[in-house]
Amino acid sequence: MAMLPDDPTLDEIRAHLAPRLAAHAAFDGWRPAAIDSAAAEAGIDPAVARLAFPGGAVAMIDAWFESVDRAMEAALPPERLIAMKVRERIRALVIARLDAVAGEREALRRAIAVLALPANIPAATRISWRTADRIWRLAGDTAADFNHYSKRLTLSALYTATILVFLDDESPEFAETHAFLDRRIANVIAYEVAKARRAERRGHRPSLSRFIGRLRYPVA
């Protein structure tokens, strides 16, 4: 972890403590006690550290997930991703993110329980979207049309389902999770291929309006 400057801002303190929070949240829950423990470990005044997380548990989880996203990005720099197909990039990025939380599954379980509370659904949606967007951008996606949104919604659902398997996976090296992820990716690709074929067939269907228009205005 990077060293803090002598007079850090609250943003810098939050980013510095975020990766440490999960280890303490696994025992203390996503409560101020976890901030205090992480701050003591980092040599930061706990009273100041609490100011860096004014949103309570959601702010703590948000900061941790952001640090996990950064770890995922660091694990797969562009020079590694560029040699992969898009499907392989998505798979590798999802697995890199799972690897980043593999040692903190109890904290992850508690974080999901917090985000599942009705009052926290908007924050949970925002956090999930941010991760999906980052994965797609790292994978090289530049879509700006409707596909931009559909891809991220699909990936969010895929990742959420994978996480639920991951939390209880006791197989060697999370083999069951990886197999589940592979099946879900294959299902999504099969669906997209079928959708593209349907769209292509629709494009070749006779158009009644075009036919009527030609009757009224014959092609010269």
Same domain, 93 and 192: yes
pLDDT in tens, 177-187: 999 999 999 98
What is the rounded CA–CA span in Å between residue 84 and residue 101?
A: 24
Where does a domain end: 21, 38, 54? 54
Same domain, 87 and 180: yes
In this prediction, residue 198 has a pLDDT band, given cuts at 50, 70 and 90, of confident
Same domain, 43 and 70: no
pLDDT of 2 higher than 90: no
Residue 211, pLDDT score: 47
pTM for this model (two decimals): 0.86
Structure tokens at 92: 């590798």
Range of the domain at 15: 7-54
218, part of any domain: no
- Domain CATH for 128: 1.10.357.10
What is the rounded CA–CA span in Å between residue 89 and residue 78?
A: 10
In this prediction, residue 142 has a pLDDT band, given cuts at 50, 70 and 90, of confident
1, part of any domain: no
